[in-house]
Structure 1
C-alpha cells in the first residue's frame, strides 16, 4: 500500500470533519469508543457549522473527494431520520444533480466506443442527469427500415476509473490500519468489506456488464407487475457506453408531482419494498443502488420504474433463506428463529448463548411491532444494534454487505413515500408466500430436481476419476520394475495410495452431494 493512499485517507478525514460530516451522525446512539473519536474529529469543524449546526457543504465535499464517497452520501440522503432533514436534502443532490462533464466530449467518446454504430445515435441532448460515475443524455436511435426511437445514452465520466482506484486503495489502507490498531474492529472484517465493495465497483465501471444485468433482471421479472425496467439496445453498448429505451416517469422523490398526478404514495412505497424483497428472496439477484435518483413512478399505472443497474447484488439459496427467515421471524415474533438463523449463518460465534441472543433480538423487535415508520427512531435502533453486535462479538459477512446496504436504502425510500409504513405488514405477502412455496410440494420438487442434477453431474465425473486412478497405478507398476532404493519405493507407494484414496473419496463425495 503506497504512502499516497494513506495521505488520501488523512485528507478525506480532514475534509469530512471540516465540513461537519460527523455532526450528522446520531452520536448518542453510538458506542463510547466511537463517540470519543467523533468528538475529537468535530474539533476541526468550520466555525459556521459549530455555531449554526447546519451542514450545507457536505455535498460539495463528498463530490470533491471522489465517486466512492459520493456513493456513501447517496445512502445517507435516504435517511433524514438519521442524519436530519437538512443534511439529507443537501446530500440528495449527489443522486443525479452533480456537475456534468463537457458535452463537447460526447461525440468523440461515442465514436471511439461504438465505431460506425455511433452514427445511428442522433439529436443527442445536453446531460439529463449527472452522477458520480456517469451522465445520461436523451437521443434518437435511427436504425435502417425502422422509425426513430427515443433512447437513453449513458456515458462513463472520463477518468472515473482512476479516481475509483485511488479511493479504493485509500479504503484498503484505512481498513488495514483499523485491523492493526483497533482490535475490536477485527470482527467487523473491514478489509473483506472493502474487497467486496472493490469488486462491485469494478463491475460498475464496465457498462457491458450493466447491460447484461438489465437483461438478466428482465428475464426474472417478465411475469411480474408493478416494477418496470428499460430495454437494452445491444448494438449501441460498449465498455463506456450503454444505450437503453427511454423511460419517462415522475422522480420518486418529487412528492408534490406524485400527488398532483394522483399517484398513491402508500401503494408506491409498498411496491418499492415488495419488489426489492421479491428480487432478493425469490431470484437472489437485486438492484443494489435503489436511491431516489434511480427510481421513478409511471404517470399512468403508478408502477415503479428503475434505472442504473451498475451495482447489483447476488445471494445464494442459503442466504435467501436466511433473509426470508429473519424477516418472517420478526413478522411473526418468532425471535427464537431469528436468533438461531444468525448462529446458523455465522453472524454470531458458536460460543455465545442462543437464548441470550434471542432476548437481545426481542428487545429490538418488540418495540417495532404495531408502530408506523414515523414512530420508529432508526437512530435509536441502530444504536441498539451497535451494542448488540459488540456484546455478542458478531462477525461481519462481507458477501451480505450489498444486501444490508440495499435494505437501508429501500427502507429509507419507502419510509419517505409513506411515513405511516408498517414494514412487517408490507413485507409479509412476499416473505410468507416464498417460504410457504419453499416448504410446499413445488419447493420440495425443485430441491429434489437440484439434488438429482448434482448427482448426475457427479456421476458423470466418476469414470474420469477411475481413469486417473488407473494411470496412477500403471505409473506405480512401471516404477516398481526399475531397480531403485527400497525406501524411495515405499515413499512412492505411499504417495500413490494417498492420491488414489483422495480421488475415490472425492468421487464418493461428489456423488453424495
Structure 2
C-alpha cells in the first residue's frame, strides 16, 4: 500500500510537469485519445501557487516531451533516451524527436567533486593529479573534468586524462523513480491486456539494468577495455585507454582524446579529412562490432565520437552497450544480407527459423509484407530514403504478424539508425546498404562457409568424444549393477520391491535417449559428416 501511495505521488508530479508542457495530452494526438483521458486534461494544466508561471509550450509534441522530461530530472531523461530506442512503443516520429533529448544538467560543486574523487581512488587529489579542471561537461548521471596525472615511471611528465565522476546521491534518486516506473508497468500489464505484447515490465527492467551499469563506472571501464581488445587490430577505429589505478565505482579515469568532435563537420572538412571515408568507416565499424564481436556501442551518436589527427574514429561514453548472441548475429546478418539481395522469401524463412514469427503465420505473406517495406528503398537516392518511415512500416509488420518484442534487436536497429545519421552527416549522399554489404558478405563467408562448417563439425565431434570418454565408466557401472542383480535372484526371480521396480522402469525410459548405443550412433554420424565436408 505504501509503495502504491509513493508511486502515485511521484507519477502525479511527473504528470503535472508533462501537462504544463502540453506533453501529457498533446494537441496533435487528442483526436485519438479516450474521452476519460481528455476529461482529466484540465487537472494536469492547473498550476499551484508555489509552482511558478506556465512553461513554454511551443514546438511539436516530441520537442515538448523532451523539454518536460529534461525538467523532471535524471531518471526521466534516461527514460526518454530509452524510449527513443523503442519506436515500436511510441512511434518512429516521437522516437526520432527524443533522440535529440539533451542530457545536460548544471555541474555540482568542485569541492564535492574533489571529495568524491578522493573517496573513490583512496588518495588525495593532489597525489593523483597535478592539475584538475573545473567540469567541462555535466550530464544526468556524471560530470567530466580534464586532468593531468602526476609524473611516474611510465609517464615522466604526466599524462592528460579525462576524469568522470558520478553525481552525489544519484543512486537513491534513480531507485525511487525506477520503483514508480515498475509499479506503473506492473499495473498496466495486469489490467490492460493489449499492452502485454509490448511487455512493459520487461521494458522497465531493461531500463533499470542499463542504469545500474551506468551507476558503476568500473563496468563502463570494463566495457571500454573489452572493446579496445576487440578492435585492437581494426583500422580506422580506436578506444581510449583506461587508467585502472585511478578508477573505482564512482570515478573513472581514461586517456584524454585530442580530436575534432564528429558533430563539427566544418572543422573536419577544414582539417582535410575524407568525409566519404568517415561515412563508410562509422557504418562498417559498427557492423563489425555487432556481427563479429556481438558487442557494440549502443549510443554512437556524434556527441560520443571524435576524429583524431590520423583520421581514426574514437568512441567515448560506453555507458550504454549492446550484446547479441551467436544465433542472433547469424540471423541478423542473413536478414540484412537478404534484404540487400532482395531475397524476401529467404528473409521470411530466417524469421520463422529464428522463432521471431509464429509458425501459424504464412511465410509467403510475411515475405510479401517485407517486400512492401524494402522495395521503396532500392533505386532511390540515399538522401531521399526516410529511415523513420521504413521503421514505421517494419513495426506495422511486427504487429500484423504477432512478432514478440526483442529488446536486443530493437537496440541494434536503433543504433543502426543513429549510426546511419552520423554517416550521412559526414556524407549526405551516403548509402548504408552499399557500406554494409562487404562487411556482411565477409562475415557470412567466414561464419557460414565450408571452413566454418568443418570447424563446427569438429567441435561437435570433440564434444561427442568427451562424452564417449565416459563410456567405459558407464559400462563398468552397468556390469556391477547386473552382477548385484544376479546375486539378488532367487527361485522366484529378482527380489525388488514393486515401487522400486516401477521407478527403475521409468528411469530407464527417460534415459533411453542417452544409452551407449545411441551415443555410438551419433558419433558415427558425426564422423561421416566430417568426412563429407572434407
TM-score normalised by the chain length of structure 2: 0.79
Correspondences of 1:328-343 after superposition (within 5 Å): 328-343=337-352
Distance 1:170 1:478 in 2: 68
Query: Hey, what's the Cα distance between the residues in 1 that align with 2:219 and 2:475?
Result: 40
Partner of 1:111: 118
Correspondence for 1:19 among 7, 21, 26: 21
1:416-435 equivalences under 5 Å are 416-435=425-444
The CA RMSD over aligned residues, in Å, is: 4.2
TM-aligned CA deviation for residue 378 of structure 1: 3.5
1:220 aligns with 2:222: no
**Which string of whole-angstrom CA distances, capped at 9 and with x for unpartnered residues, describes residues 29-62 of structure 1?**
xxx9789999889886798766665876655532
Partner of 1:398: 407
- Once residues 443 and 290 of structure 1 are traced to their aligned partners in structure 2, the CA distance between those partners, rounded to angstroms, is 31
The answer for the alignment partner of 2:361 in structure 1 is 352
Distance 1:312 1:479 in 2: 63
Aligned to 1:149: 159
Of structures 1 and 2, the one scoring higher in RCO (CA 8 A, sep 6+) is 1
- In the TM superposition, residue 214 of structure 1 has moved relative to its aligned partner by 1.5
Deviation at 1:356, TM superposition (A): 0.6
C-alpha distance in 1 between matches for 2:192 and 2:393:
21
| Residue 310 of structure 1: how far off its partner (Å) | 2.0
- Number of aligned residue pairs: 503
Is 1:235 aligned with 2:245?
A: yes
- Going from structure 1 to structure 2, the CA distance change for 1:77 and 1:173 (only over 3 Å counts) comes to closer
User: 2:532 aligns to what?
Assistant: none
CA distance in 1: counterparts of 2:381 and 2:25, whole angstroms: 27
Q: Verify: 1:187 aligned to 2:197, yes or no.
A: yes
Q: Is 379-388 or 36-45 further displaced after alignment?
A: 36-45
Counterpart of 1:368 (choices 359, 377, 383) is 377
Q: Aligned partners of 2:7, 2:484: CA distance in 1, in Å?
A: 53
**Residue 296 of structure 1 aligns to a residue in which SS?**
strand
8 Å Cα contact 1:66/1:164 also seen in 2: no
SS of equivalent to 1:184: helix
1:129 and 2:131 matched: no
Match of 1:162 in 2: 172
Q: For the residues of structure 2 that align with 1:286 and 1:382, how far apart are their CA atoms?
A: 21
Equivalent-residue separation in structure 2 for 1:479 and 1:6 (angstroms): 71
Query: In the aligned structure 1, how far is the partner of 2:269 from the partner of 2:35?
Result: 44
Alignment of 1:171-320 (within 5 A): 171-298=181-308, 300-320=309-329
- Rg larger in structure: 2
Q: Do structure 1's residue 67 and structure 2's residue 74 form an aligned pair?
A: yes
Asked whether the 8 Å contact 2:331–2:354 carries over to 1, the reply is yes
Report the Cα distance in structure 1 between the residues aligned to 2:184 and 2:267, rounded to whole angstroms: 43
8 Å CA contact 1:137–1:153 kept in 2: the answer is yes
Q: Deviations over 1:185-222 (max 9, x none)?
A: 22222222332333232222222222222221112111
1:336-366, Cα deviation, whole Å (9 max, x unpaired): 1221222222221111111111111101100
1:244-286 CA-partner distances (Å, limit 9, x unpaired) = 1111222222233323323333332322221111100111111
Q: CA deviation at 1:109?
A: 1.2
* Partners of 2:311 and 2:328 in 1: CA distance: 31
**Unaligned segments of structure 1, at least 5 residues:** none
Q: CA deviation at 1:179?
A: 2.3
Which of 102, 105, 113 does residue 98 from structure 1 map onto? 105
| Local SS of the residue matching 1:323 | helix
Matched, 1:408 2:417: yes
CA distance in 1, matches of 2:249, 2:484: 50
TM-score normalised by L of structure 1: 0.82
**CA distance in 2 between partners of 1:475 and 1:165 (Å):** 62
The question of 1:378 aligning with 2:387 is answered yes
